[in-house]
Structure 1
Amino acid sequence: MSLTTAIDAAAAALQDQVIAWRRDLHQHPELGNREFRTAALVAEHLRVLGFDEVRTGVAHTGVVGLLKGGQPGGVVALRADMDALPVTEAVDLPFASKARALWNGEEVGVMHACGHDCHVAILMGVASILAGLRERIHGSIKFIFQPAEEMPPEGEQGGAALMIQEGALEKPTPSAIFGLHVTSRQPAGVIGYRPGPTMASSDKLKITVQGRQTHGAAPWLGVDPIVTSAQIVLGLQTVVSRTLDLNREPAVVTIGAIKGGVRENIIPETVEMRGTIRSFDEGMRDDIHARVTELAEGIAAASRASCQVCITKNYPVTRNDPALTAQMLPTLTRVASTGPRPMGIELVPKVTGAEDFSFFQRLIPGLFFFVGVTPPEIAPSQAHANHSPRFFVDERGLEVGVRALAHLAVDYLGSIKG
């Protein structure tokens, strides 16, 4: 039996177990840097499989396992994120989450509303398959189970950046890394890919406008930060629409929260706005930061107010290495067109969501792709999006994810052997 056939047969045999893992993880979600149960489950699984190395406690709760093949060769990495979101589940499932936890000092519901339970279960399945075929594998495979992709709690470090800082890509260093994300934007089992910039960078924006408090009946005795903030919000709409060359890449500047004042007849002293900035080019990203700052400060000064602009860089652009994508596209195409329920492969548009997989791609070539999990009878445009309390996973997409990562690892290592 060929190695390709052996992987597919093992994935089919393991499908029920992968679904069981996913349901268990879904019922017991954990927030970023608090994935204690999940990490323990993963680490024990890798040890039972006889992994050569299993390192725990990386970036708080991360797990890094190394599987050495029986044949000489290079090193490749596979990554899955483990954390859930502070979302109260609204899907009627027998394994729905009832979990609650503290997030930034507030008690919240906890749910795998972005599908990271699927990612962990998929990579556990890949570990089982490749451990069983290790004597036929050229080189080594590094399995990275990462915490806090959805951002760590305020005041903490975490995620891919901290895993890298703590040596996740060292001893040995992989020459490529692969990862996936389940998505409601495609039917279950459809693979989506894109070379080059694929997911946006993500930055936090905070603007604090300082005015002078006065009675609402006598606004001329003070400086109104509410009106000034309104002008800033309107002005920010021109940063993308009138000052950026959108022939290069799209971008987004959004204000999502604004707070100021306590009652109707008092003009307050300050107003705070919070928002997000998304872009697909690092040069444009820096340009947006400069333009947002200049515009906000200029409008505030013209209104006799002052303002402080704070922009925090979160995640870089998720950029799929074009050469690696082209090299591995035949593998993804084969996986998508075979198996028990072939659904095909699509070139997907850019995604303005962000991913800290991008930190790995800054150091080594990486390919991040998508696997659909929306039931085929539902139009993806009508499905509840990732991060929704009603996000629903058609588990028939999980086997495609298992096969895709397993084949990518083996095919890549086979291409660089010797």
Structure 2
Amino acid sequence: MPVKNRFAELLPEITAWRRDLHENPEILFDTHRTSGIVADKLREFGCDEVVEGIGRTGVVGVIRGRQDGDKVIGLRADMDALPIHEQTGKEYASRTANAMHACGHDGHTAMLLGAAKYLAETRNFAGTVVVIFQPAEEGGGGGKEMCDDGMMDRWNIQEVYGMHNWPGKPVGQFAIRPGAFFAATDLFEIELEGKGGHAAKPQEVVDTGLMTAHLITALQSIVSRNADPVDQIVVSVTSMESSSKAFNVIPQRVELKGTVRTMSPGMRDLAEKRIQEISAGIAATFGGTAKVGYHRNYPVMVNHEEQTQFAAEVAKAVSGGCEDAPLVMGGEDFAFMLEERPGAYILVGNGETAPVHHPEYDFTDDAIPAGCSWWAEVVERRMPAA
């Protein structure tokens, strides 16, 4: 039976797994129920080895082909949800307040489980598949934790592949690009210190509100006047909190938080340097001081040329085509795995749904056969059995 037909047959079962995960979202590393379900299913499928607790709550399953082979391929799905209150109105909506699968990781986990079931029952390949179920993609760096636990060396993984659903793209259609794909995502905190006082006596204070207004505007000069116009960079101030909540008090302190998204190490260095300099300069101009914390988070996710071309060929075989994907300024901690091993990350269409990280987003179950088929075809084409 052709691979895709088998997944069409399995669709109701895989959909049921997905919707159960959707009803019971878990955040960051707190994926104990999800991880337990994944591990139980991998054992039920007959995986040769199932190991829990990699990267705290990650799960790894090993499937050996019907023929021996030296090649080992890793396939990775993320499991965690987001701290968002769901507003889809679905019958399988989240039963946990302020937690929902708003990025489709429930779909990613279900699709890789479906592929694992198929690969374990057919074993039509020569070599070894390592299925990787990762916690804490949404800001926790679970991919790095799994790598730091020695996952790549422990199972001798030689290549690694990942997938993400993509709203706005036709269901089951694919897109990919070589090289830099998802942005590095860094975090910054700026504490402005002035001299608080009565709002009726501005001459007696060092106004942190005025500093804040100028600083937020000035930080955009990094993009408009420091960065090469052909380079990609986004600087966003996303939070402002002052030491006073009163209408008639000019606050002593204001804390700003935000993100920087870049596509190259040089631009990353420039952004950090200029945020430090601009913050100090603006604060000094108005008689205050600035303390800056800059935290390097996820690196640029870089697809490897050969594996990207292969992934695109597989996508064409599955769906009849594969488009060039745009650069994405969002972050993706699969970047850590691609720093350790060659591989590729692909997008699969989710249809005309709400965007990811939106309270009305939902993964489209009709995308499951295409996603599962891509995983399976990656294995059978990269490690063909004689």
TM-score by length of 1: 0.89
Structure 2 Cα separation of the partners of residues 85 and 222 of structure 1:
41
Query: Cα offset for 1:327?
Result: 2.9
Question: Structure 1 residue aligned with 2:4, among 4, 8, 14?
Answer: 8
Confirm whether residue 255 of structure 1 aligns to residue 237 of structure 2. Answer: yes
2:134 corresponds to 1:146: yes
Q: Secondary structure at the match of 1:170?
A: helix
- 1:113 equivalent in alignment to 2:83: no
1:283 is aligned to 2:266:
yes
Q: State the secondary structure of the residue aligned to 1:358.
A: helix
TM-aligned CA deviation for residue 198 of structure 1:
0.9
In the TM superposition, what are the counterparts of 1:92-111 in structure 2 within 5 Å?
92-100=89-97, 109-111=98-100
Question: Do structure 1's residue 24 and structure 2's residue 20 form an aligned pair?
Answer: yes
Shift of 1:87: 0.8
2:165 aligned counterpart, secondary structure: strand
Letter in 2 for 1:253: V
Residues 312 and 322, structure 2, Cα contact 8 Å, conserved in 1: no
Q: Which letter does structure 1 place at the counterpart of 2:327?
A: K
Structure 2 unpaired stretches of 5+: none
Q: In the alignment, what sits opposite 1:165? A: 148
Matched residues in 2 for 1:347 and 1:353: separation?
17
**Paired AA for residue 349 in structure 1:** P
Unaligned runs of 5+ in 1: 101-108, 153-157, 338-343
1:124 counterpart letter in structure 2? L
Task: Measure the CA separation in 1 of the matches of 2:175 and 2:121.
Answer: 28
Q: Distance in 1 between matches of 2:89 and 2:199?
A: 49
Contact kept, 8 Å, 1:144 with 1:168, in 2: the verdict is: no
User: 1:201·1:278 contact (CA, 8 Å) conserved in 2?
Assistant: yes
Choose the corresponding residue for 1:77, options 51, 74, 78. 74
- Which whole-Å deviations, capped at 9, do the CAs of 1:31-87 have from their partners, x for residues lacking one? 111111111111011111221111101222110111111212200000000001111
Q: Which of 215, 223, 247 is the matching residue for 2:198?
A: 215
1:110-162: CA deviation from partner (whole Å, max 9, x where unpaired): 1000000000000000001101111x31110011100011123xxxxx50111
Identity across the alignment (%):
36
Q: Which moved more, 1:392-401 or 1:197-206?
A: 392-401
Moved more, 287-296 or 354-363: 287-296
Q: Distance in 1 between matches of 2:358 and 2:53?
A: 30
The one of 335, 348, 367 equivalent to 1:358 is 335
> What is the TM-score when the length of structure 2 is the normalising length?
0.96
Are the aligned partners of 2:88 and 2:361 in contact in 1 as well (CA < 8 Å)?
A: yes
Question: Partner of 1:307: helix, strand, or coil?
Answer: strand
Task: Give RMSD over aligned pairs.
Answer: 1.5
Match of 2:360 among 376, 390, 396: 390
Counterpart Cα distance in 2 of 1:150 and 1:393: 16
Q: Equivalent residue for 1:346?
A: 323
Does structure 1 residue 271 correspond to structure 2 residue 267? no
Between stretches 165-174 and 137-146, larger displacement belongs to: 165-174
Aligned to 1:127: 116
Distance (whole Å) between structure 2 residues aligned to residue 316 and residue 90 of structure 1: 32
Partner of 1:104: none
1:31 touches 1:85 (CA, 8 Å); kept in 2? yes
- Give the conservation status (yes or no) of the 8 Å contact 1:328–1:412: no
Separation in structure 1 between the aligned mates of residue 24 and residue 196 of structure 2, nearest angstrom: 48
Question: Runs of 4+ in structure 1 displaced over 3 angstroms?
Answer: none
Measure how far apart 1:238 and its partner are: 0.8
1:404 aligns with 2:374: yes
CA distance, structure 1, for counterparts of residue 154 and residue 55 of structure 2: 16
Partner deviation per Cα, 1:199-242 (whole Å, 9 max, x = no partner): 11111111110101122122222211110111110001110111
1:328 deviates by 3.0
C-alpha contact (below 8 Å) 1:85/1:112 kept by paired residues:
yes
Equivalent residues of 2:4, 2:370 under 8 A apart: no
Whole-angstrom distance in 1 between the partners of 2:49 and 2:195:
61
Structure 1 counterpart of 2:168? 185
Between 1:138-147 and 1:321-330, the stretch displaced more is 321-330
Q: Choose from 75, 82, 86 the match for 1:89.
A: 86
Q: Aligned partners of 1:137, 1:413: CA distance in 2, in Å?
A: 5
8 Å CA contact 2:127–2:383 kept in 1: the answer is yes
Question: Given residue 111 of structure 2, which amino acid in structure 1 is its aligned partner?
Answer: I
| Farther off after superposition, 354-363 or 184-193 | 184-193
**One-letter amino acid matched to 1:185:** G
Asked if 1 retains the 8 angstrom alpha-carbon contact of 2:184 and 2:261, the reply is yes
User: Does the Cα contact within 8 Å between 2:238 and 2:257 map onto a contact in 1?
Assistant: yes
